[in-house]
Amino acid sequence: MPQLNTYRGGPDERGHFGLYGGRFVAETLMPLVLEVERAYRAAKADPTFKAELDYYLAHDVGRPSPLYLAERLTEELGGARIYFKRDELNHTGAHKINNCLGHVLLAKRMGKPRIIAEPGAGQHGVATATVCALFGLECKVYMGEVDIERQQPNVFRMKLLGAEVVPVKSGSRTLKDAMNEALRDWVTNVDNTYYMIGTVAGPHPYPTMVRDFQSVIGEEVRDQIMAAEGRLPDTLVACIGGGSNAMGLFHDFLDEPTVSLIGVEAAGHGIETGKHAASLAGGVPGVLHGNRTYLLQDDDGQILEGESISAGLDYPGIGPEHAWLHDIGRVRYVSATDREALEAFKRCAAAEGILPALEPAHALAHVIRISGSLPKQHLLVMNLCGRGDKDIFTVANALGVSL
Amino acid sequence: MTIALVPPAEPAAPEDGRLTRRFAELKTAGRGGLVTFVTAGDPDHDTCLALLQALPGAGADLIELGMPFTDPMADGPAIQAASLRALKSGARMTRTLDLVRAFRAGDRATPLILMGYFNPIYRYGSERFIEDAAAAGVDGVIVVDLPPEEDEELCLPALESGLSFIRLTTPTTDDRRLGVVLRHTGGFVYYVSITGITGAGAATEEAIAAAVQRLRRHTDLPVAVGFGIRTPDQAGAVARVADAAVVGSAIVARIAANLDAEGRATPELLDDVLGFVRALAAGVRGHL
């Protein structure tokens, strides 16, 4: 039964968010995707699945993550009260583990002993390797050669956790190619393998599943801001690569008309230069990796490479639910450049004693941009979805410092 | 003697007819056919056209022409590389259709099917693609990432315009799903003999024979088998149990082996690739 007057009713039974989403995969994979959907539907209806997930989220991840008032930043900017949702304090240092725990419990229920994944920044890879170690599953991580180069610390962490990291040398050697390679693996190892997608993209039911697993972020924010301020926030801000941390923050608030939602894409060197990863600002609808969504592509339908200082944001697409929320105007999507993200990174370190990952540094750049002009009683919550330790080499390089 | 006052009318859907006619001819000849795959514009437009024009003479019964795409998820390294070479040499959908038109101008009999991924078609415009492909002389299309669940996108409109929509079936397609997969399939059924990507390991002859038997219980359409067929022997073995054997990666690898350091076609390319196709053709004819 379609629910009217809600933004939270999607997708339809075939995985469509309006025009977007769907299941555009090769026939070899189709039975597998349908199997994942059946298993997920059963798990969702089973209270023991949620209980088990909640247990690990509390005792392994350390949820709930704090909602933190960034007092000095608030004071410096002189406007909105700025809160950080501290998902960078999770075990493994980012929001990615929320999703991986959900997936691994499902894989376990499905009896799949082998996990594959395709991280960009590597946070998803670290989280995947972590949950595989936790549950004793074989873990193979496909990562673009270029991303391996700029995320060395994460690659080493994955290996320490027992994962096999496979450098992807095809195409542009970044996230999209890692995803192609993971799909090629899945198509080859159909019987024993579970594909752990790290963002709200891919064929149905992945965008929905990942959103559901990440929605804990927004649900906690609701309780925490009610406790701290006695009312709902006015604005939520999150960065967008594929868009999982943003979907996780936004979903619980989609039907709250007083809460404005802002997603921040990576503008790289600037949207006007063409060297960016802003699929909504600079892309058009197309079909890739199992779903229809906005894609960076040329006029022949060939996929372009996203470009961003942040390895986690340079995917040339975006989750289909974001594409839909963009079209209907429920979420406003803006962008921040590499330079703005770097400035925000430094400012966060200096004002709050937190090294944010370069991904949420993009969200922070927008917070810095708008905060001063908002009234003092305005409540703004930004998802600080990852910590910046993994990025210190990239940042040093950008600042001309040799380590 | 009767003199026809009007020329005989073309059949209503000549493109569809070519596939049916060719499989009927193969049946009469008592052998399975050879389907050869090359990527449009690989290694460059002119070499590709020369190759296409010579393939039927070398023994190709059907031609499968790949539409280049940056992200061919179901393809192995050989065809990925072919796609990138083609794109680098300026391939695009309009050029692919140019190739088909040029081929068709000299060959009205050999069926030609396009194979690829949905995004370049979607960007070109599905309606426009169907119209232009049919007008250029395309007989059927295979779109890897359009399962029956997304039939409204291209399959149903293609059928209306007389273009066959050729579906892949795989070892993971169980009997229950087979009905769904075959529902709007036309021209022939393409059986992917392995769970895997193009150019990977081969299935055994017994497994292929069993799979073809199973498909024949569900459909009267001819069955072509592909993925992992690399040698004349293998092509011959498959052609004995199926209606056609598809060879792709092995041909494309021959193209790659005949490029100079800058990736340009060497003068030996055509002869070498066509020699290989002749050997494959001898294989399916049992002349090994």
- Residue B1: inside a domain, yes or no? no
Strand ranges inside chain B, DSSP E: 33-39, 62-66, 112-116, 140-143, 164-165, 168-169, 189-192, 223-226, 244-247
Contact assignment for B173 to A27 by CB distance below 8 Å: yes
- Using a CB-CB distance cutoff of 8 angstroms, which residues of chain B are in contact with residue A301? 69, 93, 119-124
In this predicted structure, what is the pLDDT of residue B231? 97
Cβ count within 10 A of residue A41:
11
How many folded domains does chain B comprise? 1
Q: Residue B154 sits in which domain range?
A: 18-283
Alpha carbons A102 and A206: distance in angstroms, whole number: 12
Residues of A in contact with B71 (CB under 8 A): 171, 176-177, 180, 288-289, 303
> In this structure, are strands B189-192 and B223-226 parallel, antiparallel, or unpaired?
parallel
Q: What angle do CA A274, A369, A224 make, to 5 degrees?
A: 115
pLDDT value at position A3?
55
Question: Which residue in this structure is represented by tokens 């597998």?
Answer: A32
Give the distance from residue B17's alpha carbon to the nearest chain A alpha carbon, in angstroms. 26
Listed residue (B161, B45, B43) closest to B94, CA to CA: B45
Kindly give, in sequence order, each residue whose CB lies less than 8 Å from that of residue B8, ignoring residues fewer than 6 positions away.
none
Within a domain: residue B7?
A: no
Q: What's the confidence (pLDDT) of residue B10?
A: 41
Q: Are B37 and B245 in contact (CB under 8 A)?
A: no
- pLDDT score for B201: 82
- Rounded to whole angstroms, the Cα distance separating B245 from B231 reads 11
Task: Tell me whether residue B75 is one of the annotated catalytic residues.
Answer: yes
Q: Is B118–A180 a contact, with Cβ atoms under 8 angstroms apart?
A: no
For chain B, what is the radius of gyration of the CA atoms?
A: 18
Q: Report whether pLDDT(B5) > 60.
A: no
pLDDT at B3 over 50: no
Q: What b/e string do you get for B170-192 counting C-beta neighbours within 10 Å, with b at 16 or more?
A: bbbbeeebbeebbeebbbbbbbb
Distance CA A188, CA A183 (A): 9
Confidence tier at B6 by pLDDT (50, 70, 90): very low
**Across A43-58, average pLDDT:** 98
Establish if B155 belongs to a structural domain: yes
Residues in chain A: 403
Instruction: From chain B, pick out residues whose CB is under 8 angstroms from the CB of A299.
Output: 123
What's chain A's average pLDDT?
Answer: 95
Residue B1: predicted pLDDT: 42
Q: pLDDT by residue (tens digit) across B81-95? A: 999 999 999 999 999
Distance (Å) from the alpha carbon of A383 to chain B's nearest alpha carbon: 32
pLDDT in tens, A59-96: 999 999 999 999 999 999 999 999 999 999 999 999 99
Q: Note the pLDDT tens digit of each residue in B142-158.
A: 999 999 999 999 999 99
pLDDT at B2: 44
The answer for A289, left when phi > 0, alpha when psi is -120 to 50, beta otherwise, is left
Question: Considering the domain boundaries, does residue B160 fall inside one?
Answer: yes
**Rounded to an integer, what distance in angstroms lies between the CA atom of residue A96 and that of residue A87?**
9
Q: What is the pLDDT of residues A146-179, one digit of tens each?
A: 889 878 889 999 999 999 999 999 888 888 899 9
Instruction: Please say if B16 is a catalytic residue.
Output: no
Q: What is the pLDDT of residue A150?
A: 79
| Range B213-224 average pLDDT | 96
CA distance B19 to B102: 19
Q: Compare all CA atoms of chain B with the CA of A287 and give the residue at the minimum distance.
A: B119
For the segment A10-24, the average pLDDT, to the nearest whole number, is 96
Instruction: Answer yes or no: pTM beyond 0.90.
Output: yes
Q: Which residue of A has its CA nearest to B71?
A: A180
Contact A26 B92 (CB under 8 A): no
Tens of pLDDT, residue by residue over A100-130, are 999 999 999 999 999 999 988 789 999 999 9
Q: What is the pLDDT of residue A378?
A: 98
Q: Which is catalytic among the residues B75, B107, B139, B243?
A: B75
Is B13 inside any structural domain? Answer: no
pLDDT at A147: 87
What separation in angstroms does the CA of B87 have from each of A296, A303, B62, B165, B251?
A: 17, 11, 24, 25, 18
Q: What residue type is assigned to position A103 of the chain?
A: H
Averaged over A195-202, what is the pLDDT?
96
Q: Determine how β-strand B62-66 pairs with β-strand B112-116.
A: parallel
Structure tokens at A160: 């320490």
In a domain, B209, yes or no: yes
User: pLDDT at residue A317 above 50?
Assistant: yes
Bridge partners, residue B168, by sequence: B190
pLDDT > 90 fraction of chain B, expressed in percent and rounded: 86
User: H/E element holding B82?
Assistant: helix B77-88
Geometric angle at alpha carbon A354, from A353 and A360, rounded to 5°: 150
- Number of Cβ within 10 Å of residue B271's Cβ equals 11
Q: Tell me whether strands A20-24 and A290-295 are parallel, antiparallel or unpaired.
A: antiparallel
DSSP string, A193-204: EEE---SS-SST
Confidence (pLDDT) at A174: 85
Q: Does residue B171 lie within any of the structural domains?
A: yes
Each residue of B120-147: pLDDT tens digit? 999 999 999 999 999 999 999 999 999 9
DSSP classification of residue A305: P
Task: Using DSSP, state whether A90 is helix, strand or coil.
Answer: coil
Confidence at residue A4, expressed as pLDDT on a 0 to 100 scale: 61
Chain A: which residues have CB within 8 Å of chain B?
Answer: 14, 22-32, 170-171, 176-177, 180, 183-184, 187-190, 284, 286-290, 292, 295, 297, 299-303
At residue A2, the pLDDT reads 52
pLDDT tens per residue, range A332-345: 999 999 999 999 99
pLDDT (mean) for B240-261: 97
Does residue B13 have a pLDDT over 60?
A: no
Q: Which of A183, A284, A292 sits opposite B73 (nearest CB)?
A: A183
Distances in Å between the alpha carbon of B157 and those of B100, B128, B132?
A: 20, 11, 13
Confidence of residue B4 (pLDDT cuts 50, 70, 90): very low
| CATH (domain of B245) | 3.20.20.70
- The DSSP 8-state label assigned to residue A3 in this structure reads P
Say whether pLDDT at A214 is over 60. yes
- The answer to whether the Cβ–Cβ distance between B145 and A301 falls below 8 Å is no
The tokens for A179 are 């995803």
| B73–A177 CB contact, under 8 Å | no
In a domain, B153, yes or no: yes
Residues of A within 8 A of B69 (CB-CB) are 301-302
Does the beta-carbon distance from A301 to B119 stay under 8 Å?
Answer: yes
